[in-house]
């Protein structure tokens, strides 16, 4: 049995992507901090796709030992797709950031993603059909005002994943790497970034996608031959395309 791993699966894009992939018959390994939300998602999946096997792993990936422990716990699984979706943001000027918060953000957005990507590529680089998908952001291509540190973390994700995709192709490896770059998406992301409890997208954001829409874009990227799936930050159209960053 082949599995798709999704980190950050307890809400937002990861939650909705899990349901879409389960409907396609995929079996899943769902990873997030909140065990109760993962159990809720597993129950929901069982009602719409009873044949899908759903494994849950409650792990806080901002701790290095949990990152390695997660990967080691999946050594006996055949993983056809690995989706690094876990991450969070910060909406402060650099002079105002809470350093402890951005330390955790960088560990999750950059370190955990890189370690899990590296381990997966090491083991699956020559496996036909294997796919790594990393979730960046449109601000991984355009720096956000009051989000410089978060943007920088997502610039790392977009550059790293695009470079990895080219490296794999150049070396003739079979694994494919892809990067998804959402723009504003109606999830709990803004609450954590702004440290608010009730951020209302409809009242505060002119254009945005729902988590369901972004999950559909994620699946489109997985099913395509392209490397990048990016939301146009002006008209919010979604584009599948080749790498954007120069490769020297």
Categorize the per-residue pLDDT at 199 as very low, low, confident or very high, splitting at 50, 70 and 90: low
Q: Is the pLDDT assigned to residue 126 strictly greater than 50?
A: yes
Mean pLDDT for the chain overall: 93
Percent of the chain with pLDDT over 70: 92
What's the domain count of the chain?
A: 1
Residue (of 174, 190, 182, 175) closest to 157 by Cα position: 182
Q: Is residue 129 part of a domain?
A: yes
Average pLDDT over residues 40-50: 96
Q: Is residue 246 part of a domain?
A: no
Q: Is residue 58 part of a domain?
A: yes
Give pLDDT tens digits for 78-114.
999 999 999 999 989 999 999 999 999 999 999 999 9
Domain that residue 8 falls in: 2-241
Lowest-pLDDT range, 70-74, 127-131, 191-195? Answer: 191-195
For the domain that residue 136 is a member of, what is the CATH number?
Answer: 3.40.50.720
Q: Is residue 147 part of a domain?
A: yes
Q: Are strands 27-32 and 209-210 parallel, antiparallel or unpaired?
A: unpaired
Pull the structure tokens for residue 166: 């080219």
Residue bearing tokens 């720096």: 143
Categorize the per-residue pLDDT at 134 as very low, low, confident or very high, splitting at 50, 70 and 90: very high
Average pLDDT over residues 229-236: 94
Q: Is residue 161 part of a domain?
A: yes
Q: Is residue 218 part of a domain?
A: yes
Q: Is the pLDDT assigned to residue 25 strictly greater than 50?
A: yes
Q: Is residue 179 part of a domain?
A: yes
Q: Is residue 248 part of a domain?
A: no
Residues 13 and 135: their CA atoms lie apart, in Å, by 10
Strands (DSSP E) contained in 73-130 are 78-84
Residue 144 per-residue DSSP state: P
Give pLDDT tens digits for 142-195.
999 989 999 999 999 999 999 999 999 999 999 999 999 999 888 665 545 455
| Cα dihedral across residues 10, 14, 19, 22: positive or negative | negative
């Amino acid at each position: 049995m082949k599995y798709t791993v999704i980190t950050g699966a307890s809400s937002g894009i990861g939650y909705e992507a899990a349901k879409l992939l389960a409907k396609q018959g995929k079996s899943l390994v769902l990873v997030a901090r909140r065990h109760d939300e993962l159990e809720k998602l597993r129950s929901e999946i069982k009602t719409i796709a009873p044949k899908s096997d759903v494994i849950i792993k409650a792990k806080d990936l901002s701790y290095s030992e949990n990152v390695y422990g997660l990967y080691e716990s999946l050594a006996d699984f055949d993983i056809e797709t690995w989706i690094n979706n876990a991450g969070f943001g910060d909406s402060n000027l650099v002079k105002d950031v809470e350093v402890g918060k951005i330390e955790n953000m960088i560990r999750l957005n950059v370190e955990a993603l890189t370690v899990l990507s590296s381990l997966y590529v090491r083991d699956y680089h020559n496996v036909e059909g294997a796919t790594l998908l990393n979730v960046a952001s449109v601000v991984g291509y355009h720096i956000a005002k009051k989000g410089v540190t978060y943007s920088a973390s997502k610039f790392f994700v977009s550059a790293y994943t695009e470079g990895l995709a080219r490296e794999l192709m150049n070396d003739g490896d079979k694994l494919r790497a892809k990067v998804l770059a959402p723009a504003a998406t109606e999830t709990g992301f803004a609450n954590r970034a702004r440290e608010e409890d009730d951020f209302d997208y409809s009242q505060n954001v002119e254009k945005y996608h729902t988590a369901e829409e972004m999950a559909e874009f994620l699946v489109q990227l997985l099913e395509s031959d392209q490397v990048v799936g990016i939301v146009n930050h002006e008209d919010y159209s979604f584009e599948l395309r080749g790498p954007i960053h120069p490769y020297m």
